[in-house]
Structures are given as structure tokens and as C-alpha cells.
Amino acid sequence: MMQVTAPSAVDTIGSSHPESNALIKPGYDERLTNEDLAPLRKQTWGTYNIFAFWMSDVHSVGGYITAGSLFALGLSSWQVLVSLLVGILIVQFFCNLVAKPSQVTGVPYPVICRASFGVLGANIPAIIRGLIAVAWYGIQTYLASSAFLILALHFAPSLAPYADVKLHGFAGLSTLGWCAFMTLWVLQALVFWTGMETIRKFIDWAGPAVYVVMIALAIWLVSKAGWENVNFTLSFLKYQGWDAVPVMLSAIALVVSYFSGPMLNFGDFSRYAKDFRSVRRGNFWGLPVNFLGFSLLTVITTSATLPVFGKLITDPVETVSHIDSTFAMLLGVFTFMTATIGINIVANFVSPAFDFSNVSPKHISWRTGGMIAAVASIFITPWNLYNHPTMIHYTLDVLGAFIGPLFGILIADYYLVRRQRVNVDDLYTLRPTGRYWYSKGYNPAAVATMIPSAIIPILCVIVPAWQGLANYSWFVGMGIALVLYRALAPRMMRAHLV
């Protein structure tokens, strides 16, 4: 039976703005609390809002390329579809698990982590998740900025020299590339700065808009190519029978890994849902139904590029750039740019905003936390990261190796150790008598679990003999953390009387 000690409206104080949705009680420590991290007074998101969140997360250039790559693994079409379905059902299952603690308590991901890591130790997962988001935020912004380059060169071919980094460039990016990157950077910052309500409205609109253009693009390409020339298998059939099983398992793992970041901090969004039923429904329509639909549109569109343009094009922005219609190109580029802004905000802006705010709530607001991530994404020069496959592989895979363990600890703590019981008030106190104070604000069980459960997935990435498990590093880290934390936590809790 789930029990949550939630704040009462009677106990609130005047520290919140009268129109604020934050529920701050007198005993909450200012070093752990601000209006962005406090529990919500009202939770209003419904099924469609959660559905739209996942549409924004799926409908992107990265999602398009990822889905298309699965159809190019050498499997038959039905094997790819089975892999996609199994992978996305796993994602749906885990998203439902991670959503519940934040939806029930009304708190974001870094705050609910205080129950497992301690009120101060929660900064460990917050900083790790924030750094991952910074890297991906910069890369996604760089990828989407290519749309601006296409538009600029289409309407002003004379700008071509400024698109050549060897002629006009700085820090590895051309002058025109800098203009495109910073333009998109500012547009995203403007959407974010207006707050979560604007973000909700943006993602409610962005996801369906991409579907409309994707369907129109698919219809146009198929009409040009002829339906008989559209093949769901984008490469030669290489694997049959039992030989296909390892490849299918890798495809399943790839789907889960692709969603592992947004899945980890999904609580940042599920906290706004009015009930858990809305979350489950939104996850169903947004994940298995939406992802399969988008994947089918992707493979139809990608396959049709071969007979229409004479080559297989996996990048939707490049596909649109080949269309001999200024209006169609404008619409397509604008739509995919919008899609990338959508995924960047929901997956890589909101998360570090809460995460960095959690480090010092008194001095770092949600908006300030998000801008810290945005500014940091410039200084990592994501174009240099992206253009060096080895560097991006090790950087992102090593950071990603921490996601599985963080997820495993959160799930083990909430469901297996605490049996879905959370005292919300103690998430905001630094009193040694608080349930989540542990040892000087840190939970030794979580820290002790984190070390081996992160090291082993990292070894899977960097040690050649272990690289057969690299695709499964999320599962390896999550599984180790789940088992190890379940074994260690009860002893630590008894030792600290929590």
C-alpha cells in the first residue's frame, strides 16, 4: 500500500509568490528549497500533455536517423519491427516506474533522489545527469543549426565562402555556422526562459506539426518513387534464423539506450500530471504507438529517397534540401528545426535546469540552471565533439554508463526498500533527525552502490575484450545497482535509524 506524507496547504507560508505553484512549508531549509524545486500545489497535465512530451522527444533528426539505422542492420522488416516494439515496451515499462514517485509527490528528479542519495548526496546524480544533458544539448543544437545553413545557402549562394571553416571560421566552426548555431541557441533560450507553461504549449504543438510534414513528405516521395520501389529493408538481408537473434537484441538495447536520458529524469515532467493514470495513458500513446508510427514513416521516407534522388539519404534535413520547391524546403527545414528544439528543451534543457538548481537552490533558480547548461554547451564546442566519432563515442558512452546505475538505485529505493513510502517534508530538511540525512547528508549505501555499478559499464565501453557488452551497458549498470542497493540499503537505514 503506497503511503506518501505530502505537504498540507494549511502549513504553507508567505515565502512563495501568491500566484506561485510552489508549496513551501515553514520548516523547509532554504539551502534545499526554492519555488522550482518545491512540491507543486496543483498538478494539471493530462494524457495528451504526456503524449506530446514523447512526440517532441521522438520526432527529431536524431530519432529519424536512429529509427532508420535499425532498418539498415541487415534484418528483415518484421524482425526490425519486433525489435522496435520490444525495445519501446521496455522503455514504457521503466518510464511508468520512474514517473510514479515524482507524480505522487509533485517533486522533480533531483529532489526525489534525496530519498536514496541523501539530501546533499542527491547532487551526485544531479550533476551527472546535468553534464550528460549539456553535451547532448550542444550536439542537438549544432545538428539543427545545419537547417539554417541550408536556407542561407539556398537564398544567398554567395555566402558559401563563409560556410567554409578553412576560409572563415573560429574554433572549428565556420562563420556562417556560428551564426546558425547562435541563432538556434537564442531561439531555444527564449522558449525556455518563458517557463514550463510555455514549454508545455510548445511541445503540445511541435510533435503533431512534425507528423503533418512527415506524412506529406512521405506521400510526395512515394508518389515520385512508386510504391513498388519502397522497400522496408534498407540494406541486404544478412541475418536469418538464429543468427538474427543477437542483432535483434542489440537493436532492442539501442532503443532503450536512446531513451535512457529522458527516461531517467522523466519525473521532471510526470510531476505535473494530475494523476498517474494520465501518465500511463500518455506513455502508451507516446511510446509504443507513436514510436512505431514514426519509425514506419521514417523507413518509407528514407527508402523512397533512393529511386527519387538516386541515393539513400538518412538525414531528413538533407532530404528536404533536395526538393525542388522553395516553399516545401522552407516548410520542411522549419519543421525539423522545430522538432529538434522540442527534443532539446524536454530532454536537455529542463533536466539540467532542475539539476543545477538543486546544487544551490538559494542562488540558482530553474532558469539560471538552464542557462548555465546552455552557456556550457557553447564552450564544449559540440561540433568538434560530433565530428570526431571516437571522441564522441567515449565521451557520451562513458557519461551514459552512469545513467543505468542512477536509474537502478532510484527504482530499488522507492519500490523495493521503501515500498513506495516517501516523507516529502524530510526531503527539504537538513536536520540530522530527518529520514534522508543519513551520514552528513549522504547515503553510504547509494555511494557504495554507484561506484562498482558505474565502473563495470565504463569498462564495457573502453576495454576491447568487454566491448561485446557495450550495447548493453545500461542494462548492466541498472541491474548491478538494483541488486547491490537492495542488499546494502536496509542495513544502512537501520544503522542511521531511517
CATH number for the domain spanning 466: value is 1.10.4160.10
Question: CA 101 → CA 39, 64, 120, 239, distances in Å?
Answer: 12, 31, 19, 42
Question: Residue 14: its pLDDT value, please?
Answer: 40
Per-residue pLDDT tens digits for 308-354:
888 878 777 778 777 777 777 777 777 777 777 887 887 788 888 89
Per-residue confidence band for 216, with pLDDT thresholds at 50, 70 and 90: confident
Task: Summarize the confidence of residues 275-292 as an average pLDDT.
Answer: 95
Question: Residue 395: its pLDDT value, please?
Answer: 63
d(CA 486, CA 112): 17
Q: Which residue type is seen at 120?
A: L
Indicate the average pLDDT of the chain. Answer: 85
- The position carrying cell 519501446 is 88
Question: Residue 2: its pLDDT value, please?
Answer: 44
What is the phi-psi region of residue 441: left when phi exceeds 0, alpha when psi lies from -120 to 50, beta otherwise? left
Task: Summarize the confidence of residues 110-117 as an average pLDDT.
Answer: 96
- As a whole-number percent, the residues of the chain with pLDDT over 90 amount to 36
Q: Which residues of 410-419 are buried (b: 16+ CB within 10 A; e: fewer)?
A: bbbbbbebbe
Q: Which residue has the higher pLDDT, 149 or 85?
A: 85
Question: Residue 396: its pLDDT value, please?
Answer: 59
Residues of the domain holding 8: 3-495
Q: Which residue has the higher pLDDT, 3 or 477?
A: 477
pLDDT for 18 beyond 70? no
pLDDT for 12 beyond 60? no
Cβ-based burial of 100 (10 A; exposed 0-12, middle 13-18, buried ≥19): buried
Do residues 381 and 140 touch, judged by C-beta distance below 8 A? no
Do residues 401 and 84 touch, judged by C-beta distance below 8 A? no
Total structural domains in the chain? 1
